[in-house]
Amino acid sequence: MKTDYFNTVLNKLKKVPYLPKWLIFGIDFVLTFVAFTFAYLICFGFKNSPFDQQSFWILAIICIVVTGFFFLLFKTFQSVMRYSGFRDVMRIFNAFFFANITLLILTLILVHHNHYFQQLFFSSINLSNQFIWLLYIINFMLAFCFVFSLKMVVRLLFDRANSIESTYRKNIPVLIYGVEQENVDLAHLLNHMQTVKYDVVGFLSTEGDAVNKRISNKPIYSVQNAFNNGKFRDQFQAIVIEPRHIERSEKQRIAEYCNKYKKEILSAPPIEDWSNNKLKVSELKKVKVEELLQRIPINIDTKSIAKNLKGKTVLITGAAGSIGSEIVRQVSKFDVGLLVLCDVAESPLHEISLEMNDKYPSIKYKAILCNVRDYTLMKSIFEKYKPDMVYHAAAYKHVPLMEEHPCEAILTNVWGTKNIADLAVEYNAEAFVMISTDKAVNPSNVMGASKRIAEMYVQSLSKQLKAEKGDQATRFITTRFGNVLGSNGSVIPRFEQQIRAGGPITVTHPEITRYFMTITEACRLVMDAGNFGKGGEIFVFDMGDKVKIKDMAEEMIRLSGLEPYKDINIVFSGLRPGEKLYEELLYDAEKLIPTHNRKIRIGAVCECDRDQLLNALTQLIEFANARSTVDVVKVMKDIVPEFISMNSRYEDLDKTQ
């Protein structure tokens, strides 16, 4: 009966709402005062001195004020007590340790260098250095023990309540990948939050020293042993990973095991969300193929970027597209003065405006429906807002469409770029960052060639300005990278649609490969290159390992719980116009110059004659406006001699060159 009553009380305890931060702060304050009182009385016991209320209260007030400051500094009150873990204990320890060091130094200074305190303490309690040291050593130990004990008692009570509840419900048993502190914290959250229906039954580790040991009485296995041990394999249904913190090859190895043994891979939200107790069951989702392909995030110099963008007006063309919208999000994390968002697509521009209102309400922005081809309209925008920084992401990017519409490719990708670059110079922008593509290298299609011509114009303009103005010239920076995961119209969204429709998935060729990076990673590199570029460079991004598109399609089918070629078929449709079988390496290693960021290198690209280029561009734009398709492609091949068409109706033009 007593046990049932105790369990009933514990179950009711689980329904108690989280204590507000101010109340936790107040409880810690009270315990700090109690600890100091005991410390003070203990010290008087050793000295056989009379209790002096005036000196006690002065020291107690100083103690509370100083300790309160360190509570705020280390944010000891932000954690929820029922989920207290190692991080919280360390915050408490650090707060009391540094608080008592500060109190010790402050008291010694007051006692020995202030006449009032000398008279007060020495006349009333005969205060000595040994007494001061002893007082704060005891105070530190008692205060830490009191606060730590309270949090641990609360934690243990809720752990007990959760263990009782788990016996009455069937949760999904999962393994946590990793044995770092954040992995252990995630395990505690999953086991103890009422909204999460998972039970952590063990951990996975690649560290040999950790394997076969235990964390919180849960076993640690290697990936191979966990799946090869049939008895243990039956004890879990899914593996929880934080995709951003695991190398690509390891994620794919886990996926192979999970596909083989019909286990799920669940993706945990970013650490900043669940560490603040925001984790919801809906946020543990099946891992996506793009999460398996992404690499560990790179580090960039955000402090330098923040300093460079602080208070600036930033204009972003193509702001509603896949790359442009992510640049908007990245820039919005900094204290910019004004964001000017330009795009020709009405609905996507409206969507990014709504996102700005919801997620970045403190950022001033202006969304403008415009086309980079319209020089007069773009000039009025530059005249009104005078941007300091320009990110030029507006472009046509789909290879097959541009192969059918080369005039449109020229008018947007070349003429549009020329308009924005010229206006950046006219209105003294500090920097112009252009988003290019690796398809501009030895282009085999109209889209790639149009981007290469845009690169050539920007480079030639930069060279001219440097000769005329030196360091005062606008910095023109080109960033070049390949396919980005999940962008509008890319293979992954297309494959997802085909899987939902029951198949088949269409792949152009069984051997076709591509390089991929995430949109976030690409835009972070764009920001970094735009920050340290001196002008005139073409920055080439490290795209990692190439991926076979057929393998990606098979992986997506398996992640959907289906079997390739059985539940969902894969058919090969043949290479599209302008499409290569293999993407080339951007440049030979000896032609790449390293930078401060190992993921960014500078491509040594041949320069062109500016006068000759301008004459050719004039002719090119005239043909494009006249919609003279064949003449446009002919001139493109004259400007870019390495442009050799593949699987295209323009191959005959190469034979006449």
* CATH of residue 183: 3.40.50.720
Model pLDDT, residue 170? 57
Asked whether residue 424 is assigned to any structural domain, the reply reads yes
Whether residue 361 sits in one domain with residue 237 = no
Report pLDDT for 589.
Answer: 47
CA atoms of 445 and 648, how far apart (whole Å): 8
Question: What is the strand order of the sheet 365-369 is part of?
Answer: 365-369, 338-343, 313-317, 389-392, 431-437, 475-481, 538-541, 600-603, 592-594
Tracing tokens 């670059």 back to the chain, one arrives at 421
Co-location of 337 and 442 in the same domain: yes
DSSP-assigned letters across all residues of 255-289: HHHHHHHT-EEEEPPPHHHHTTT---GGGSEEPPH
- In Å, what is the CA distance from 482 to each residue of 371, 494, 513, 517, 612? 25, 18, 12, 8, 29
**CB-count exposure of residue 33 (10 Å: 0-12, 13-18, 19+):** middle
For the chain, the helix, strand and coil percentages under 3-state DSSP, each to the nearest 5: 55, 15, 30
Q: 3-state class of 293 per DSSP?
A: helix
Distance CA 31, CA 27 (A): 6
Considering the domain boundaries, does residue 138 fall inside one? yes
Amino acid at 282: S
Among candidate residues 249, 264, 287, the one where a domain is terminated: 287
Does residue 98 lie within any of the structural domains? yes
Q: Which among 107, 131, 164 is the end of a domain?
A: 164
How far is Cα of residue 139 from the mean position of the Cα atoms in its chain?
Answer: 42
Query: Are residues 253 and 329 located together in one domain of the fold?
Result: no
Residues 158 and 245 in one domain: no
Shared-domain flag, residues 158 and 177: no
The answer to whether position 651 is within a domain reads no
Same domain, 14 and 85: yes
pTM of the model: 0.68
Does residue 159 sit in the same domain as residue 175? no
Q: Which tens digits make up the pLDDT trace of 184-207?
A: 777 777 766 655 577 788 888 877
- Tell me how crowded residue 281 is: count the other CB atoms within 10 A of its CB: 13
Query: How many Å apart are CA 280 and CA 599, to the nearest integer?
Result: 34
Low-confidence ranges of the chain (pLDDT < 70): 1-20, 44-53, 77-87, 111-130, 155-170, 191-196, 208-210, 270-283, 290-291, 293-299, 486-489, 583-594, 596-597, 604, 606, 655-657
- Class of residue 470 by CB neighbours under 10 A (exposed 0-12, middle 13-18, buried 19+): exposed
Q: Show which of 164, 179, 203 is a domain's final residue.
A: 164
DSSP 388: S
Run of H or E including 141: helix 129-166
386: burial class by Cβ within 10 Å (0-12, 13-18, 19+)?
middle
Bridge partners, residue 285, by sequence = 267
**Can you spell out the DSSP letters for 326-348?**
HHHHHHHTS--SEEEEEES-HHH
Could you read off the pLDDT of 425-450 as tens digits, one per residue? 999 999 999 999 888 888 889 999 99
**Tokens 């966990």 correspond to what residue?**
226
Instruction: Report long-range pairs for 605-613 (Cβ below 8 Å, ≥24 apart).
Output: 605/455, 605/459, 605/538, 607/459, 607/460, 607/463, 608/456, 608/459, 608/460, 610/460, 610/461, 610/463, 610/464, 613/456, 613/457, 613/460, 613/639
Q: Are 322 and 187 in a shared domain?
A: no
Give the pLDDT of residue 2: 47
Alpha-helix runs per DSSP H in 390-545: 399-404, 406-409, 416-426, 446-469, 491-500, 519-532
Task: State whether 458 and 582 are in the same domain.
Answer: yes
For the beta carbon of residue 514, count every other beta carbon within 10 angstroms: 18
Which of 398, 410, 431, 538 is closest to 481 using CA atoms? 538
Sheet holding 198-204, edge to edge: 214-215, 218-221, 198-204, 172-177, 238-241, 264-267, 285-286
Neighbours of 640 (CB within 10 A): 21
* Spatial CA neighbour of 311 closest among 329, 331, 333, 338: 338
Provide the pLDDT for residue 590. 41
Specify if 649 maps to a domain.
no
8 A C-beta contact, residue 136 and residue 60? no
Cα–Cα distance, 539 to 314 (Å, whole number): 21
Same domain, 222 and 343: no
Whether 652 is in a domain gets the answer: no
- On whether residue 277 sits in a domain, the answer given is yes
Please state the domain count of the chain: 3
User: Would you state the pLDDT for residue 445?
Assistant: 92
User: Do 22 and 158 fall within a single domain?
Assistant: yes
Assess contact for 108 and 131: CB atoms under 8 A: no
Residue 536, helix vs strand vs coil: coil
479 and 426 within one domain: yes
> Does any domain span residue 515?
yes
Q: Looking up tokens 């009485």, which residue turns up?
A: 217
Number of alpha carbons in the 13 Å side-chain half-sphere of residue 12: 6
Compute the Cα dihedral for 249, 253, 259, 263 and give only its sign. Answer: negative
Q: Which domain holds residue 381?
A: 302-639
Q: What is the largest CA-CA distance in the chain?
A: 108
